[in-house]
A and B are shown apart, each in its own frame.
Chain A
Amino acid sequence: MKNRLKVLRAERDWSQGDLAQRLEVSRQSVNAIETGKFDPSLPLAFKLARLFERPIEEIFSDEEQRS
């Protein structure tokens, strides 16, 4: 699954550590989600959506749907 986390994070000038602190997860978790190595659960995806004040589909996109 692709995502715009890096862009959204950069817009706010947050480091991976800053985002991890806000999500109450480890920095490795943010890195793994950001690089597409790990897909977050729905509760964590909703948490991200609330944090960035965007709908989930604006943050995450289904690669199969794109192709």
Chain B
Amino acid sequence: MKVHVGSPAKYRFEDRFLFFIVPLFVLDGILGFWGFHYHHLHPTGALAVLCATVQSSPIIAFIFIVALYLAEEKDEFQKAVLVQSMLWAIGATLAVTTFWGSMEKYSQAPHMDIALAPFLFWAVMIIAIVANRWRYR
């Protein structure tokens, strides 16, 4: 008998990641390198808002496709593991950013760019997913 490897929702998630998120990241990289690093652009007004939107779009789109995956996934255990991992990541991100915010306020710690928060979230998320996979292997 063929062993069930992945759910249709998981395959749809992977397709969305590959054909939607990866090109957005590439566009993001090109804009960052070509525009800001090579040409030293400093856009203002509506163009600055547009650049910020393009720059943050892969992260926002990724959150959206994870939400779609959660809505479409029929395997309740996989869903529970993902939600559990997300709770760890949300908790860790809030704890670190709150602590660092207080450090900036009271201890003159260097400013942390808030745009880094999603990267911290996904880093903890990856660790939590790996830990959960090992726990339920």
Taking CB atoms, residues of chain A closer than 8 Å to B135 are 37
Taking CB atoms, residues of chain B closer than 8 Å to A24 are 4, 74-75
CB-contacts of B1-35 with A (<8 A) = 1-4, 6-7
What interface size band does chain B fall in? 10 to 19
Considering the complex, give the chain A residue whose CB is closest to the CB of B7: A26
- Decide if B3 touches A29 in the complex (CB within 8 Å): no
- Decide if A29 touches B1 in the complex (CB within 8 Å): no
Taking CB atoms, residues of chain A closer than 8 Å to B77 are 25-26, 28-29, 32-33, 38, 40
CB-contacts of A13-31 with B (<8 A) = 17-18, 20-21, 24-29, 31
Asked if A44 lies at the interface with its beta carbon under 8 angstroms from chain B, I say yes
Counted as pairs of residues, one from A and one from B, with CB atoms less than 8 Å apart, the total is 52
Taking CB atoms, residues of chain A closer than 8 Å to B80 are 38
Chain B binding site: helix, strand, loop or mixed by DSSP?
loop
What interface size band does chain A fall in? 10 to 19
- Decide if B4 touches A41 in the complex (CB within 8 Å): no
A21 CB contact (under 8 Å) in B1, B74, B81: B1
Considering the complex, give the chain B residue whose CB is closest to the CB of A28: B136
Taking CB atoms, residues of chain B closer than 8 Å to A37 are 135-136
B interface, CB within 8 angstroms of A: 1-4, 6-7, 74-78, 80-81, 133, 135-137
